[in-house]
Structure 1
Amino acid sequence: MRHPLLQKYDRLIEFFGQMLGQDYELSLFDLRAEGCPLIFIAGGMNSGRPLGTPLAAAGLSMLERFRQGDREPLVNSHSVTADGRLLRSSAVILADGDDEPEGLLSVRFDDNRYRDLVDEVLHLCHPDHFWQEIEGLEIAGLNRPSDSGQASAAPDGELTAAEAVRRMLLEANTTADALTSEERLHIISELEKHGYFRLKGAVREVTEVLHCSQASVYRYLTQLRRGDAF
């Protein structure tokens, strides 16, 4: 026998999944089952969550607010996938005829293809040094690193940011081109934790060693500073 929620919602969710396309993922959670598991996925984007995944803490908090009378959906929040992609997330609780919560519909949007396109376009219309020092920071929405003229030197006075990355690659017995998104995020996380990005020129050094754009480094930093949701 088909799940009661799927009888009510799966065709509608599948329709919107096909309409929105490959950069969206629509997920339906059963709020009446223990753990509020994921029971249906539609759309083209795959965030890596298998069926049966319990509802995250943000969703459980939303359910509690619903029971207290807050019926507002959550729109345009942020979440991060297991492989480090930053997503735009929205969610709404579905109620039955007695106004009791029965399901939660989560909609995730992955804009990384569009960010990469913006990156390429701006590389075409700006000199490299201008893009690296100005435009990448504006896209990422982060504060500009120090302009005090401080030389590039590690917090402990031993390694530059580039040298620190090379050491991590050597210790992991890998190369920059072989890194997955999750591994690259881990390297950025270690550098951030040890204060390398407070140094002038550190972002530029890291991009040269990791073979990625400065905008990508700032996106990773943004991901590290935002929590998970849905």
Structure 2
Amino acid sequence: MNPQMCHPLLLPFIPVVRVLGKTLGPDWEIVLHDVSNGGHRVVAMENASLTERSPDSPLTEFGAFLLRSEECEDLDYIANYASTGPDGRALRSSVVLVRDGERHLVGLLCLNQDMTRAQLLREWAETLTKVDPLPFAAPPERFVSGSDTHFEELLREVRPLFGKPLRFLSRKERELLLERLRERGFFSFKGAMEVLCRETGKSRFTLYAHLREVRRRADRPL
């Protein structure tokens, strides 16, 4: 590969090929083709072991199609299309169609990614994030720290049920509030009642009386 023999417009792309090869790593093959004047030669290539090609290798059938296809005359690049390596592995490819001032195609900057490791990573991630529905109806399980931040999160969930500040709730509405918070585990954590007193403007005595009534109804036999 003699860079001095390539089309002048391709010279600035040679360091681009080098840096992309170094930056993206061995799963990416970067190739710069000179296709000016109806010919073909490889100007620069990085990580060629991916497709086992050499500087003397011919254009692929798809590359030859790009040279003669009228459908591609207005294109400057094609990104992320599927291709196949010589051993059958799945690749993801992109190509920049380098044109001169008269829109004549003079070069192809090709990027080919081996997706093997990426696919394995995706499958591993899918396995680690897969969840199955419970075989019965149940409230969602929540693991919390019991901090004021969590109390605020639970209060944020129930406020829309009432459409007004919680300090303006009626007795019946306050009991409904305590019932919904109890279902969410609000009272399992230290400091819950103090937070609720501030939110509702009611005393601990009043709120505990409401909570006893809520618990009594919940424990009542059906």
Report the TM-score, using the length of structure 2 for normalisation.
Answer: 0.48
- Higher RCO (C-alpha under 8 Å, 6+ residues apart): 1
